[in-house]
Structure 1
C-alpha cells in the first residue's frame, strides 16, 4: 500500500512539474559541486553574503528578468564589478559553458540545496 502511494505521489509530482522536478536533486548536487570546484563558494554562500552576494540574493535580484541567464553567464565568464559593490568578481575563462549554464540556472532557481 505504501509503495503504491509513493509511486502514485511520484507520478503526480512528475506530471505536475515535468521531468525537471524529478531531476532537481541531481541538478542541485551537480551545480553545487561545479560551484565548489570553480571557487564560487569562496566568495558566495547560498543564503548569506560573504565577499559577494548570496546566491539567493542574486536569484531575487534577477527574478523575472528574461535576459538574466545570459547576463549572468557572461558575468561568470568575463567577471564584473559595480552591481553589488566595489569588489570585483573575477573572470572564469577556463570554466566551460555547460558548467556555467548549470550553475547560473541553479542560482536563478534560488540555489536549492536538495
Structure 2
C-alpha cells in the first residue's frame, strides 16, 4: 500500500465551505465507485480554514495517469468536478489547470526512532 498526500484551497467563504462539506457527507455513489475502481483503498480529507489536505492510500493498480484518464471518460465524475470547482480554488503555486497538488513528505517518525 502506498500513501499520497495532496492539498487544495477552498474559496474563503463560510457559506461555500459549509456547502462543500455538506456535499462530502453524501458523495454521489458514482464518485465513490470511481475512486474505488481506481485502486484507492482509503481516502480522507481534512480542512484547516480554507485549506484542504487529502490522504489517499492506494493499491498497486493505482496510477494518477490512469485515474485522470478514467475521470475524463466518466461524465458523472466530470459533473462532480465541475460542481466542486464552484467551491475550490487552485493553490497559488499550482500549475495551470492543476487542482489537487501532490505534497512532498519532508519528515517521518518511524517506531523505534
Higher-helix-fraction structure: 1
Q: TM-score, normalised by structure 2?
A: 0.29
Say which structure, 1 or 2, has more relative contact order (CA 8 Å, 6+ apart). Answer: 2
Higher-strand-fraction structure: 2
Give TM-score scaled by structure 1 length.
Answer: 0.29
